[in-house]
Amino acid sequence: MRTAYVAKQCSSGNYFHYAESSASIPQGPLYYFFECFLGIFGITEYLKLLRIEIIISQLCIFLSLIIFRKYLDERILALSISCYVINPYLIVSTRNTSSHFHQEVMLILFFYLLFSRNKNKKNSFFFGLLIALLFSVYYLLFAFCIFVLILILKNTKYFTSLFFGLFSGFIINLLIYLPYLDKNIIPNFAVNNRSWGLTSYWRILIDVLSGKSIITKVSNYQDYADLVEEFQYFNFLIKLNLFLVFFLIILAVSQLYKIDFDEVNFIGLCIFILFGIFLTLADIALYPHYFFQIFFFGYFVVFRFVKNKKILEIAILIFCISSIAIFYSFSKYIQNNGGASKSDYGIVYEVCGCCVEDAKTCRGQ
C-alpha cells in the first residue's frame, strides 16, 4: 500500500519520498510522481489511484502510435500493441502499479524529444534535461536512455543545448536529493543482491516478453503444482508463448544483415545488447518489473526485423489466444484458492517479500 501512503503524505504537504533498490541507490521523489501528484489533488484511496494509473498506462500505449507512426509500419504498431495489452504478466502486475510501472510515460516523452531534438535548441535542451531527471525516476531507466544517447550523439545537431539540459537536470537531481542526504548518510552504492548468472538479463527479457514471468507470482513449488493440476494446459501454453517469442527473436536476428541501423533500430541495439551487457557487468539481481521500461519497445523492434509478415501475424494471433487462456487460468486459480498462499501473490509476500534484507531469498527467477 505504499502507493496510498505516498499519496496521503503528499496531500499533507510532505513531497519527498525515496524508494530503496537492490543496488542501494535510493530512487528520488520522481519515482512516486503519479502518487504524489494525485495526492495533492486529494486522491488518496488505493483503488482510485489504481484505476487512474491503469488509465494512464493504457493512454500511453495509444499515444505511442502518434510518435512512432512516422517510423514504423502501422501493422507492426498494431501487432506490438496487441501483444502489450494482452501479455498476462503485465496485466497481473498492475496490482502493484506505481510510477515505477509507468515508465512508459517517461519513455513517451523521451522518444518524442529524441526524434525531434534536431528541430531546435529548445527540444535538445529538454531532451538532455529529461534524461538527467530520469535518474530520480528510476536509475535503470536512466541508464537505458544514456545508452541510447551515446548511440545517437553523433547525429545530434545542438550538442551544446543538450549538454546544458543534462547539466541543469543533474543540478535538479542534487536539489531533490538534499532532504534525503540531510537525514541519511551518503548511500553505499554496493550491490546488495547478486544476479542469477550471466544470462539472467536475456533470459528474463524473453520471459517478460512471452508472459512467462506470470509464474513468478506462483513461484512456490506447491502453489504452481496446484495451478497446473487444476488447469492442465497452463504449463503447455506458457511454453508455447515462450517458443513463439524465442522463434520471432531468432527470425529477426537472421534478418539483421538486411537492416539499416536508423535511430529506431538503435533502440533495439540498446535493449538486446548494450543494456544487457551493462546489467550483466553490474551483477545486480533482476526481476521482471525491471524490464517495464523496454516492454512495448522490445516488441516492435523484434517485429520490425521480421520480413515475413504472414508468419509474424500468425504467430501473434496464436500468442494472443494463448495469453488470454493463461491469464484466465491464473485469475481463476487465484479466485478459487484465495491467492497463491505460499508465493509472491499471497500471504508470504507480506512476511517475506517486503521485509527481508535479501529479497532474492524470497523471490527467485
User: pLDDT tens digits for the chain (365 residues)?
Assistant: 566 777 777 877 776 766 665 555 667 777 777 777 778 877 777 777 777 777 777 777 778 778 888 877 888 888 888 888 888 887 777 544 444 556 777 888 888 899 889 999 999 999 999 999 888 887 778 888 888 888 888 888 999 999 999 999 999 988 887 877 777 666 555 555 666 667 788 888 888 889 888 888 887 788 888 888 888 899 999 999 999 999 998 988 887 777 777 777 788 778 888 888 888 887 777 777 667 666 667 888 888 888 888 999 999 999 999 999 999 998 888 888 777 777 766 654 455 545 555 554 554 33
Give a yes or no: residue 67 inside a domain.
no
What is the tens place of the pLDDT at every residue in 210-239?
988 888 888 778 888 888 888 889 999 999
Q: Confirm if 176 and 16 have CB atoms less than 8 A apart.
A: yes
CA distance 249 to 90: 20
The whole-number pLDDT of residue 364 equals 39
The whole-number pLDDT of residue 5 equals 72
Can you say how many angstroms the Cα of residue 318 is from the centroid of all Cα atoms in its chain? 24
Residue located via cell numbers 545537431: 157
Give a yes or no: residue 124 inside a domain.
no
Give a yes or no: residue 324 inside a domain.
yes
Partners of 27 in the β-ladder: 19
The whole-number pLDDT of residue 314 equals 94
Give a yes or no: residue 185 inside a domain.
no
The whole-number pLDDT of residue 81 equals 83
Give a yes or no: residue 85 inside a domain.
no
Cα radius of gyration (the chain): 21
Q: Confirm if 210 and 291 have CB atoms less than 8 A apart.
A: no
Q: Confirm if 49 and 283 have CB atoms less than 8 A apart.
A: no
Neighbours of 64 (CB within 10 A): 23
Q: How many domains does the chain have?
A: 1
Give a yes or no: residue 321 inside a domain.
yes
Its sign, for the CA torsion 263, 268, 269, 275, is positive
Q: Confirm if 303 and 180 have CB atoms less than 8 A apart.
A: no
Neighbours of 193 (CB within 10 A): 20
Alpha carbon separation from 146 to 108, 130, 317 (Å, rounded): 16, 11, 35
The answer, as to whether pTM is greater than 0.75, is yes
- DSSP secondary structure of 285-307: ---GGGGGGGHHHHHHHHHHH--
The C-alpha angle with vertex 212 and arms to 349 and 341, in degrees rounded to 5, equals: 25
Give a yes or no: residue 178 inside a domain.
no
Q: Confirm if 176 and 256 have CB atoms less than 8 A apart.
A: no
Residues 65-82 as b/e (b if ≥16 CB within 10 A, e otherwise) read eebbeebbeeebbebbbb
Among 285, 292, 306, 278, residue whose Cα is nearest residue 357 = 285
User: Which structural domain, as residue segments, surrounds residue 347?
Assistant: 200-361
N residues, the chain:
365
Q: Residue 295 is placed in which grid cell?
A: 516492454
